Chain A
């Protein structure tokens, strides 16, 4: 297992480098620069001094080299805009983003997986139809619109929850953004779980277990659930990573202080170090979650072996 882990971690390095290179090159060629966006009337001589101060007067390959050297030392650079270290900027936003993503996934898992199981155990029933209707609706709803609907209902009409803000980071501020973000993965998990369970229910080993006289509860618990979990875990892993990217809409709508809004603002303001740092964190998070899922495969399914 240890060698597997080491191998997987090493495999992430080219991925990270490719992303860093791509973002770096992309922001070197897109029109619009931090210099022109900061001051709209400075003369070319001053622009040149500023570019020199920010290191933008160097060729792209040299800047990239400097950036990579900094990354190796754990330095994400300094924001062009705020003059703060990017690591500090990300650190301030990391916890709220993690709060939001984990709460959303908790909502998605706690609701989506049981819903899928129930639907699969009674295929064609009213429960199945209603569950899948809910799942399709959840997948189809735009987050922005859903968020507004939830705000309208739970804040304005019922008065149960605040409509926006981070407050003290407490649960009442987290519920609406987490549900808004979590509905889509919840729906996907419900559909995936249903499909996985239905497929496994017709597998030979399940039929064998039943024919041996094993109770239905034991069949579901020991054979169906365990085998379905591999597929469910894969979906969960992908959704975890995807939520990092999707969170930006929810963060902006609810004034939630996350990495997504930092990324969007940094892109609009051409704050390249902040953009690179934010994207890198998202990528690292995605890779870490996938690594964790790979490890969990081994724990759940004894047939999967790593050497």
Chain B
């Protein structure tokens, strides 16, 4: 149902194709990098929503579903079958009976129920609660009104029944590591956080905080013949320049590239072939507060979209490491409408709209931003003169990224620039603009539009997928027209991959999150 439009560049595609054509080699070590900070947050993956932590968690843990990059959708992982009944609200999962935790114990329905109940412990605010909340009775557990999720029932050791509150595809809710299944007996122990136990293809060996995590092959992994590699080392490497040296020195097998390195690698004959890229499901935008008078007028919001030369910024500042946004849903979304065109750069049109809205002489606003190089201060600084030309003055308010996250949730801004997940589920992504979605959840611009709500509600009830996609595209087009944000770009994730590492998947949800059991290294790898 969900067809992915993967954007693959040059040899990135060739790499994958070559990998498929060869017979995977057993053994060797895969050396991945965690590029988003100087540490892993925690070895308890239920507690952390950072992309950094899911890199190792993909090797160590497993969830009910897994993201299939080739198909562009979540597929069953710990269950073999999902029978839907009750008008699309009840899912009966037949669990795998061959999944063993790294302690040697077989996974059962009790572990699934225990894990989801744990995630809903409201006093701990586990980030995965946002997904498990879709199960009936989960919110009551979160609020301390119940001890167990009423919508989860154990039928037998390998069958569970899950009753949902809405008619959604549970795959989108239960594929990330935030909803990993833990061993009920082991995970309750304090030692679990030091030596985690999972169901993944690799078991925990060592964590050197601030430096690396080492994992080795789990021989009882349920996929026959997998994983291929003996060992995985995930090194924490927050500095792009250090990663660059290590990659060129063949000390690491993967490296995430920033805009500057993207340009350098493209122009280097030896490195060009190592580039793999994909349009990730993140939309970068400037959010406008409708409680600030000028932004309450649609024409002003549209004028801002016309006044900014977005292509110029993407090409010059972001170095082409992004795709121009045409509305909210990104290129890799199944509901992306290829026919949509972005707002053209048209300052005259912007001035006309401002004049019609009663702001012929412009106005001034405060723009809250972080320092982020791809969607922060450098971008804002470049835009200010463009807005100035149509009479709009922007004052910069610079804050730390952690503070910006709080600012957008509380609405303490006139405008902000941000990067927000806009997939993989288009229904969930657009729901962030539904009037019933609270601002702290993800409706950061407190968007309210009765027509939009109606279309989205209809889409949620549609059983026919084609009809659903059509409605979602309509909702997405309405967002474009209403312009609650300046539509900037969709992130282009770029990774350099050594030629000996095969099986890299173009994961649009986060390129660094690899199903590592499918990766393998050939005999040219310098790692033992």
Contacts and interface: CB of A to CB of B under 8 A. Distances in A.
Nearest to B401: A268
Contacts of A270: 402
Given A32-B402, A32-B406, A261-B210, A156 B249 contact: yes
B376 to A, nearest CB: 15
B405 A163 contact: no
Contact of B245 (A41, A47, A49, A155): A155
A122 interface: no
Interface of B: 37-39, 41-44, 47-49, 122-127, 129-130, 142-144, 193, 208-212, 235-239, 241-242, 245-246, 248-249, 251, 399-403, 405-407, 409, 438, 440-442
B246 A163 contact: yes
B236 to A, nearest CB: 5
Interface in A30-45: 31-33, 35-45
Nearest to B412: A31
A166 interface: yes
Q: Which 10 A-B pairs have the closest CB atoms?
A: A257-B210, A261-B38, A257-B211, A53-B123, A32-B402, A50-B125, A82-B42, A41-B441, A261-B210, A166-B211
Given A40-B409, A43-B440, A82-B47, A265 B37 contact: yes
Interface in A77-126: 81-84, 89, 92-93, 96
Contacts, number: 164
A41 B438 CA distance: 9
B208 A38 contact: no
Q: Which of B42, B242, B399 has the most CB atoms of chain A within a 10 A radius of its CB?
A: B242
Interface string A121-163: 0000000000000000000000010011001100110010011
Given A41-B441, A46-B143, A31 B210 contact: no
28 contacts: A33-B406, A35-B125, A37-B402, A41-B442, A42-B130, A43-B440, A46-B142, A47-B125, A49-B125, A49-B143, A49-B144, A50-B123, A81-B47, A82-B43, A89-B209, A93-B209, A93-B210, A148-B245, A156-B249, A164-B245, A252-B38, A252-B239, A253-B242, A255-B211, A255-B242, A261-B210, A265-B38, A269-B41
B208 A166 contact: yes
Contacts of A81: 41-42, 47-48
Interface in A207-234: none
Contacts of A42: 122, 125, 129-130, 440
A264 interface: yes
A131 B237 CA distance: 35
A156 to B, nearest CB: 5
Contacts of B239: 144, 252-253
A152 B122 CA distance: 49
A42 B246 CA distance: 40
Given A50-B123, A83-B193, A148 B251 contact: no
Nearest to A53: B123
Given A49-B123, A255-B235, A156 B47 contact: no
B176 to A, nearest CB: 14
A269 B43 CA distance: 16
A166 B212 contact: yes
A286 interface: no
B350 to A, nearest CB: 33
Contact of B235 (A96, A144, A165): A165
A256 interface: yes
B121 to A, nearest CB: 9
A201 B60 CA distance: 65
Given A36-B405, A40-B405, A269-B402, A162 B211 contact: no
